């Protein structure tokens, strides 16, 4: 285990403090850490993923020395999905598939799911989806039964395109696709009937659709590709029952070319907002922002000038910035060790 000492230095944001993420582990080695810090998965040495909990460290996965690991989780926090990226610095391909594994958080036994990329857990972490670019195939698999469903994307889909997906129920999901002229659409798909229908279609080419979901609602963000002069919007659809989606409402719209990268929570949708843009030199002033579900109010949360990405890790929302991480939401300081106090009347520890 690598121990680091970091001073608690906050970032001043509109009279508030945006704290740095503090941890006992080297930040560049962390692939996943739970909100309470009790479960951490770190790269211990090249090709070795370690699991650390309760002052105990074990070698969790061992792959080739040229391998790295990408870990994702969901709001249900039951499992993690692990992608093993082989030869990450030697093999570059848009069609490259990674080995995908799943494990219960806190366990060391893994289950191999298949090969693809952009893996995502759904529905109490009993389902997983991933994409295979070469075949343009979106795969949805039940982790418990290993039952698979395959959705073929449009034959005109660009190799640069990766679909977004959210499962609404065990039989219904939504995903994105794009046609030959660059219009992106959101489709609802029924796994039982293998039929789909278009819910939303972009009005113009050059934009992409993002999806995120929390209890009771689905958010659809439409954002332009880099250097394309288009507006941005975030739509909300209430998930009224297990299979059908009700009509959508516009929660946020802007003439600016926002970066997006949405993260949904119970009461807010976080995203990267473009504050100003100089098109002559292709420079954007971007910040982390959120739109409130209840009233559509937009709040700017950072003052970094150049926010490019938001990371959701077990509900903790992070901004990576110049070899550091700032915390938008969730526990920021995991650098202290605290022993649990004895219960009243049991001071002896018995």
Q: What local confidence, expressed as pLDDT, does residue 178 receive?
A: 92
Cβ neighbours of residue 30 closer than 8 Å, sequence gap 6 or more: 23, 40, 41, 42
Helical (H) or strand (E) element with 283: strand 283-292
- CA 66, distance to chain mean position in Å, is 24
Confidence band of 242 (pLDDT split at 50, 70, 90):
low
Q: What local confidence, expressed as pLDDT, does residue 341 receive?
A: 55
Q: Is the pLDDT of residue 287 over 70?
A: yes
Comparing 27-41, 132-146, 336-350, the range with the smallest average pLDDT is 336-350
Confidence band of 350 (pLDDT split at 50, 70, 90):
very low
Of 340, 334, 316, which Cα lies nearest the Cα of 1?
A: 334
And the tokens for 16? 């508030």
| Average pLDDT rounded to a whole number, residues 133-151 | 96
The tokens 């945006």 sit on which residue? Answer: 18
Name the average pLDDT for the chain: 88
Q: Is the pLDDT of residue 9 over 60?
A: no
CB crowding 125-163: b at 16 or more within 10 Å, else e: bbbbbbbbbeebebbbbbbeeeeebebebeeebeeebbb
Q: Is the pLDDT of residue 184 over 90?
A: yes
Q: Is the pLDDT of residue 72 over 90?
A: yes
| Average pLDDT rounded to a whole number, residues 132-154 | 95
3-class DSSP state for residue 252? strand
Q: Is the pLDDT of residue 2 over 70?
A: no
Higher-pLDDT residue of 81, 65: 81
Q: What local confidence, expressed as pLDDT, does residue 12 receive?
A: 37
Q: What local confidence, expressed as pLDDT, does residue 14 receive?
A: 42
| Average pLDDT rounded to a whole number, residues 167-188 | 92
Q: What local confidence, expressed as pLDDT, does residue 8 receive?
A: 32
Comparing 95-99, 173-177, 211-215, 336-340, the range with the smallest average pLDDT is 336-340
Q: Is the pLDDT of residue 294 over 50?
A: yes
> How far is it, in rounded angstroms, from Cα 88 to Cα 111?
22
Q: What local confidence, expressed as pLDDT, does residue 3 receive?
A: 32
Of 217, 214, 319, 320, which Cα lies nearest the Cα of 264?
A: 214
């Amino acid at each position: 285990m690598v121990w680091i000492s970091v001073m608690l230095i906050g970032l001043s944001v509109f009279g508030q403090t945006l704290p740095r993420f503090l941890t006992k582990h080297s930040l560049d080695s962390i692939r996943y850490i739970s909100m309470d810090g009790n479960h951490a998965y770190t790269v211990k040495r090249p090709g070795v993923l370690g699991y650390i909990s309760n002052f105990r460290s074990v070698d969790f996965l061992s792959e080739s020395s040229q391998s790295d690991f990408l870990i994702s989780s969901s709001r249900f926090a039951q499992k993690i999905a692990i992608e093993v990226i082989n030869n990450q610095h030697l093999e570059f391909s848009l069609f490259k598939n990674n080995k995908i594994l799943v494990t219960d958080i806190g366990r060391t036994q893994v289950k191999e799911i298949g090969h693809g990329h952009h893996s995502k857990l759904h529905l109490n972490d009993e389902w997983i989806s991933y994409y295979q670019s070469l075949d343009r195939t979106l795969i949805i698999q039940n982790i418990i039964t290993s039952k698979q469903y395959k959705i073929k994307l449009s034959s005109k889909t660009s190799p640069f395109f990766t679909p977004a997906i959210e499962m609404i129920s065990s039989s219904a999901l939504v995903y994105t696709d794009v046609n030959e002229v660059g219009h992106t659409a959101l489709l609802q798909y029924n796994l039982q009937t293998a039929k789909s229908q278009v819910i939303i279609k972009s009005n113009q080419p050059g934009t992409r659709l993002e999806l995120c979901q929390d209890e009771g609602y689905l958010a659809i963000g439409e954002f332009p590709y880099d250097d394309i002069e288009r507006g941005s919007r975030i739509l909300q659809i209430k998930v009224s029952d297990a299979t059908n989606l009700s009509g959508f409402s516009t929660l946020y719209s802007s003439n600016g070319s926002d970066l997006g990268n949405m993260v949904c929570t119970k009461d807010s949708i976080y995203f990267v907002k473009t504050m100003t843009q100089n098109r002559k030199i292709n420079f954007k002033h971007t910040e982390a922002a959120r739109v409130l579900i209840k009233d559509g109010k937009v709040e700017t949360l950072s003052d970094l000038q150049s926010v490019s990405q938001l990371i959701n890790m077990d509900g903790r929302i992070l901004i990576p910035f110049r070899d550091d991480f700032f915390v938008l939401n969730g526990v920021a300081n995991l650098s202290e060790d605290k022993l649990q106090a004895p219960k009243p009347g049991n001071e002896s520890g018995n």
